[in-house]
A = this chain, B = another copy of it.
Amino acid sequence: MLSKSQISFVLSLHQKKYRKEHGLFLVEGLKSIQEFAHSSFQIHTIFYNIEHQNLLPKLPSNINLFEVNNAELAKISTLKTPQGILAIVYSPKDNIIIPASFRNQFTIVLDGVQDPGNLGTIIRTADWFGFKQIICSEDTVEAFNPKTVQATMGSLARVAIYYENLISVINELSIPVYGALLDGNSIYKTNWGKEGLIILGNEGKGISANVISKINQPITIPRFGETESLNVAITAAIFCSELARNRN
């Protein structure tokens, strides 16, 4: 039986403010929790229903375990349809850019992406294609937003997310800067070098003007139909796929 204070503590973690304050975030669903359990992340507490009793991954002994009923889970879950198991996980320390780890590879850079589902899908897609790092502008949605965590399907346990001032990072890394723009060169005719940043913009406003000024390779996904734009997670996927194709 969960106490009132346990419930209100988990509920507080539905909000960014308290996630930051406590350095904790929520992960739901057995598969995702398993991914975090087998990563460098540390788990604080797991709440599980009886069906998950024998499914718990092998866990270090310092994790608090609480068996709860479905009504209790519904109270603390961020989901309309709770998945029977919810974990509180420690946020990692802020990742610090080490320029050498961005050499000889391509890195997705998000400028102001706002939709948590889009960010989560981009992290999952990056993981599929073997990208281990994503750089986000400081105003990009938080990676530990429950909707983002959910959409990553566990990939957040493997892909490091950096929140940075993009102009400073671009200057510091000093590698080619590709950007997804509507008036660039065809992505299908791009000669990719060996390294670079791939800048993708906000859902409505695109890439901000000061970041556009840093792009030396504007790239476009050719349009054959009439819609004005592609979703940013779709754009990210097509860039990841083209880069993967180029690696082959």
Q: Interface of A with B (CB < 8 Å)?
A: 31, 117, 121, 124-132, 151, 153-155, 158, 186, 188, 221-231, 233-234, 237-238, 241-242, 244-245, 247-248
Residue with the highest number of chain B CB atoms closer than 10 Å, among A132, A237, A242 = A237
CA distance A130 to B231 in the complex (A): 16
- The answer to whether A244 touches B231, judged by C-beta atoms less than 8 angstroms apart, is no
Asked whether A128 and B223 contact (CB < 8 A) given A234-B233, A241-B241, the answer is yes
Q: A130-B224, A131-B225, A153-B228 are in contact. Are A125 and B188 (CB under 8 A)?
A: no
Instruction: Name A225's contact: one of B128, B221, B228 (CB within 8 Å).
Output: B128
Smallest CB–CB gap between A32 and chain B, Å?
Answer: 11
Q: With a 10 A CB-CB cut-off, give which of A124, A130, A224 has the most chain B CB atoms.
A: A224
Complex Cα distance, B223 from A160, in Å, reads: 18
Q: How far is the CA of A228 from the CA of B158 in the complex (A)?
A: 13
Distance, CA A229 to CA B155, complexed state (A): 10
Contact status of A244 and B227, CB under 8 A, knowing A233-B234, A234-B125, A238-B238: no
B188 adjacent to A248 (CB under 8 Å): yes
Q: Looking at the assembled complex, report how far the CB atom of A243 sits from the nearest CB atom of chain B, in whole angstroms.
A: 10
* A224:B153 contact, CB within 8 angstroms: no
Assembled-state Cα–Cα distance A228/B226 (Å): 33
